[in-house]
Amino acid sequence: MEEMDRRPGSLSGVTVIDFTWVLAGPHCTKLLADMGAAVIKIEPYGVGANERHLSLQKTHDGVTQSSYSINVNRGKKSVCIDLKKPQGKALILDLIKQADIIVENYAPGVMERLGLDYASVKKIKADIIYCSISCFGHWGPYSHKPGYDLIAQAASGWTAQSEQVQIAPVSIGDTVAGTHAALAIVAALLIKNTQGVGQNIDISMNDCLFSLHENTIPWYTLGQAVGEPITPPKIGRVHQGYAPYGLYKGKNGVVAIALLSENRWAELIQAMGEKYAWLLTDPRVKDVPSRCQNSGLIHQALDEWVMEQDSVEEVERLLDEVKVPCMRARTIEELVDSDPQIQAREMMPLIEQPFIGPVKMYGSPIKMSETPSCIRGHSPLLGEHNAQVLKEYLGYTDTQIKDLYETGALYHETAVDRLQGSV
pLDDT value of position 423: 42
In a shared domain, residues 280 and 298 = yes
205 and 343 part of one domain: yes
Question: Both 111 and 151 in a single domain?
Answer: yes
Residue 225 counted as domain residue: no
Higher pLDDT, 1 or 107: 107
For the segment 335-356, the average pLDDT, to the nearest whole number, is 97
CATH number of the domain bearing residue 306:
3.30.1540
Give the confidence band of 161 by pLDDT, cuts at 50, 70, 90. confident
pLDDT for 405-416, tens place per residue? 999 999 999 999
Domain end position, chosen among 299, 328, 357: 328
Q: Is 218 exposed, middle or buried (0-12, 13-18, 19+ CB in 10 A)?
A: exposed
SS3 call for 257: strand
Residues in the chain: 423
> In this structure, are 88 and 141 located in the same domain?
yes
As a whole number, mean pLDDT of residues 210-232 equals 92
Region 108-117: mean pLDDT is 96
Confidence of residue 421 (pLDDT cuts 50, 70, 90): low
Residues 6+ apart with CB under 8 A from 61: 355, 356
Pick the residue with more confidence: 229 or 246?
246
The answer to whether residues 407 and 84 touch, using CB atoms and an 8 Å cutoff, is: no
Q: Residue 400: what pLDDT?
A: 96
Determine the structural domain holding residue 32 and report its residue range. 15-211+338-422
Q: Would residue 99 count as lying in a domain?
A: yes
Compute the distance between CA of residue 401 and CA of residue 404 in angstroms, rounded to an integer.
5
Domains held by the chain: number: 2
- When pLDDT is averaged across residues 247-276 and rounded to a whole number, the result is 97
Per-residue pLDDT for 279 more than 80? yes
Rounded to whole angstroms, how far apart are CA atoms 24 and 254?
A: 31
The pLDDT of residue 30 is 98
% of residues, the chain, pLDDT over 70: 98
Residue 3 pLDDT level (bands cut at 50, 70, 90): low
333-to-205, 338, 339, 342 alpha-carbon distances in Å: 30, 8, 9, 12
What number of other Cβ atoms are within 10 A of residue 26's Cβ? 28
Whether residue 25 is found in the same domain as residue 170 = yes
Say whether both 350 and 306 belong to one domain. no
Point out the domain boundary residue: 304, 328, 352: 328
Considering the domain architecture, whether residues 323 and 345 belong to the same structural domain is answered as no
Q: How do 57-60 and 199-204 pair as beta strands?
A: unpaired
Domain presence at residue 229: no
Q: Are residues 79 and 188 both part of a single domain?
A: yes
Cβ atoms of 238 and 299 closer than 8 Å: yes
Count Cβ atoms below 10 Å from residue 370 Cβ, excluding itself.
8
Q: How far is 152 from 174, CA to CA, in rounded Å?
A: 9
Q: Do 94 and 36 lie in a common domain? A: yes
Residue 3 located in a structural domain: no
| CA–CA gap between residue 271 and residue 170 (Å, rounded) | 35
**Residue 31: which CATH number?**
3.40.50.10540
Output the CA torsion sign for 211, 172, 162, 143: negative
In a domain, 306, yes or no: yes
Residue type present at position 198: G
Count H helices and E strands in the chain, helices first: 18, 13
Same domain for 185 and 300: no
- Mean pLDDT value of segment 355-366: 97
Domain endpoint, select from 282, 301, 328: 328
Residue at 186 is within a domain: yes
**Residue 239 domain-assigned (yes or no):** no
Query: Is residue 1 situated within a structural domain?
Result: no
The mean per-residue pLDDT over the stretch 363-377 comes to 97
The mean pLDDT of 53-66, rounded to a whole number, is: 96
Environment class of 72 (CB within 10 Å of its CB; exposed 0-12, middle 13-18, buried 19+): buried
Same domain flag for 323 and 351: no
In DSSP notation, 180-205 reads HHHHHHHHHHHHHHHH---EEEEEEH
* Same domain? 295 vs 380: no
